[in-house]
Amino acid sequence: MSILNLNRLNFTRAFTSASGALAMAAAILSSPAARADDFLNVLTGGTSGVYYPLGVALSKIYSEKIPGARPSVQATKASVENLVLLQAGKGEIAFTLGDSLAFAWAGDEEAGFKGKQDKLRGLAAIYPNYIQVVALRDSGIKTLADLKGKSLSVGAPKSGTELNARAILRGAGLAYKDLSKVEYLPFGESVDLMKNRQLDATLQSAGLGVAAIKDLASSVDINVVEIPGPLVEKIGAPYVKATMPANTYTGQSEAVAGTAVVNYLVTRASLSDDLAYRMTKAIFEQREDLVAAHVAAADIKLENALQGMPVPLHPGAEKYFREKGLIK
């Protein structure tokens, strides 16, 4: 074979090989497993709260039940940050409190939103967040009024928890200026300060049995502060009356009147209908896996999935709920 023919043969082989590689790359990129939609970033909250372990469980469920899905879990400052990230296309599913979600849809600047977060879409209502006010027993705080002149941690600035703190204090006739000190800290850091007697009380908005408060109650004597029914009525929606059962935490021997706000799982409008459908379906069909991750998930019930949804439902979620008869 001449050198010219050999060069032509080598060129043909190289071209064929390159073409094959390009074709293979194109096939991979167009396959269901590699669609951008299937990168599922789960936006949660602080690692010591309830959102995070549920987000980890949800990530595992999606990895196992949605072909090609590649989920990841992101710890955040929770509700407000999650919704801002979704609006910016930096996540696929997020946990949020109902009042934060309503503020986001309205574009409430005071709540941390620079404009209407119009790309948000609902997947499902999940479980109620109990607004839990816990104080060191030796601080003398037994009622909300006793918080005056004391130090209180209210969660990250403009987080869902901090918005709850403002509402509860306002209902009790108090403001931050009435406290000796306000800390804007995650649950775990708040508890560490209380253990060291550097903080009198913490307000935490989470499912019952939140790990941080369990840790605190097992280390020091605490008082769980009542949020009376008339105060809840005064604040109004989306706050509802709720009762913390006795023995939720060590040393809490009696049931405590309080309030709760519904949590939601939300996504963005640009997520494909098929993926949103599969994600919604997995939430309810693998519910027991979520309950195993945190007891708060025991309150996730299909019949309550559309309860008070503050934003439009994603068409993929709507398809699932139509199949289940929740939407006619």
CATH architecture observed for domain 37-127+263-323: 3-Layer(aba) Sandwich (3.40)
Q: Note the CATH architecture for domain 129-261.
A: 3-Layer(aba) Sandwich (3.40)
Confidence check: pLDDT of 116 > 60 = yes
Cα 209 from Cα 269, distance rounded (Å)? 33
Give 65-100 pLDDT, tens digit per residue: 999 999 999 999 999 999 999 999 999 999 999 999
The tens digit of pLDDT for each residue in 258-287 reads 999 999 999 999 999 999 999 999 999 999
What's the distance, CA 200 to chain centroid? Answer: 26
Nearest to 284 by CA among 259, 242, 317, 249: 317
pTM for the model stands at 0.76
Cα–Cα distance for residue pair 314/179, rounded to 1 Å: 42
Instruction: Sort 186 into a burial class: Cβ within 10 Å, 0-12 / 13-18 / 19+.
Output: buried
Phi, psi of 86 (to 5 degrees): -60, -45
Which residues in the chain are classed under CATH 3.40.190.10?
A: 37-127+263-323, 129-261
pLDDT band at 37, cuts 50/70/90?
low
Please give the Cα distance from 91 to 163 (Å, whole number): 22
| Nearest in space to 280 (alpha carbons), one of 300, 308, 260 | 300
Q: Please tell me the predicted confidence (pLDDT) of residue 49.
A: 87
